[in-house]
A and B are shown apart, each in its own frame.
Chain A
Amino acid sequence: GAVVSQHPSRVICKSGTSVKIECRSLDFQATTMFWYRQFPKKSLMLMATSNEGSKATYEQGVEKDKFLINHASLTLSTLTVTSAHPEDSSFYICSASLGGTGELFFGEGSRLTVL
């Protein structure tokens, strides 16, 4: 099956710094990628839809200036958490769609801890 990889898997940063998380589709091209946030004991919440070559579409309530998404190529999307605060600590997961199959493939997730 198709593989999606995220890096880093874990990151710890100080409050006020910015952190970049990468999401790569390793063996297929993904025109659309999605970024989710998973809260403890809760479901995955869709943050934004990342489209290659265009601006990301953010879900209601997600601050686009805080969570910067860039989808510069067909195999890479990045999520940058700017001026991170402890409340941004969470598990961030990306997924990518494989053409017209309707199936999404998920990355391993990245756990962000902001001190």
Chain B
Amino acid sequence: AQSVSQHNHHVILSEAASLELGCNYSYGGTVNLFWYVQYPGQHLQLLLKYFSGDPLVKGIKGFEAEFIKSKFSFNLRKPSVQWSDTAEYFCAVTVDSSYKLIFGSGTRLLVRP
């Protein structure tokens, strides 16, 4: 069965530090890849997505992610985090053009001022 793994469950960083959150999926066919963010008390919102084309995807708020097909990975990065980036981040995939999202377990990011 398809699955998504996020290996970092909790990450604590100081402001201005660089961020990389890992995401790996298990599926050999066509995938669409997503990163969602859930700020405290708010609903899930899309950070960025990859469907095809340039494997380096830029999203909102300075986030980017790189799709590496050979590694089945879609890691999220930000060169300099801010306190306002404190949130939970979810990696998700859909397979074979389905709308059915499969989520990773999430990573809680705490950015200390």
Minimum CB distance partner of B105 in chain A: A43
| Whole-angstrom CA separation of A28 from B105 in the bound complex | 29
For A109, the chain B residues whose CB sits under 8 A away are 43
From known contacts A49-B100, A102-B32, A108-B43, infer whether A43 and B49 are also in contact, taking CB-CB under 8 Å: no
Within 8 A of A (CB), among B13-60: 32, 36, 42-46, 49, 51
| Whole-angstrom CA separation of A44 from B94 in the bound complex | 14
For A32, the chain B residues whose CB sits under 8 A away are 99
For B36, the chain A residues whose CB sits under 8 A away are 106
Distance in Å from the Cβ of A111 to the closest Cβ of chain B? 11
Q: Is B90 an interface residue (CB 8 A)?
A: yes
| Whole-angstrom CA separation of A103 from B43 in the bound complex | 15
| Whole-angstrom CA separation of A46 from B46 in the bound complex | 17
**Is the pair A34, B99 in contact by a Cβ cutoff of 8 Å?**
yes
For A77, the chain B residues whose CB sits under 8 A away are none
**Is the pair B102, A104 in contact by a Cβ cutoff of 8 Å?**
no
Q: What is the count of residue pairs linking A and B with beta-carbon distances less than 8 angstroms?
A: 45
- Chain B binding surface SS class: loop
User: Which of A44, A97, A103, A108 interacts with B103 by CB under 8 Å?
Assistant: A44
Within 8 A of B (CB), among A7-49: 32, 34, 36, 42-46, 49
From known contacts A102-B49, A102-B51, A103-B49, infer whether A93 and B44 are also in contact, taking CB-CB under 8 Å: yes
Minimum CB distance partner of B32 in chain A: A102
**Is the pair A34, B46 in contact by a Cβ cutoff of 8 Å?**
no
| Whole-angstrom CA separation of A93 from B106 in the bound complex | 15
From known contacts A44-B90, A102-B49, A108-B43, infer whether A97 and B105 are also in contact, taking CB-CB under 8 Å: no
| Whole-angstrom CA separation of A107 from B43 in the bound complex | 6
Report which B residues bind A (CB closer than 8 A): 32, 36, 42-46, 49, 51, 90, 94, 97, 99-106
Report which A residues bind B (CB closer than 8 A): 32, 34, 36, 42-46, 49, 93, 95, 97, 102-104, 106-109
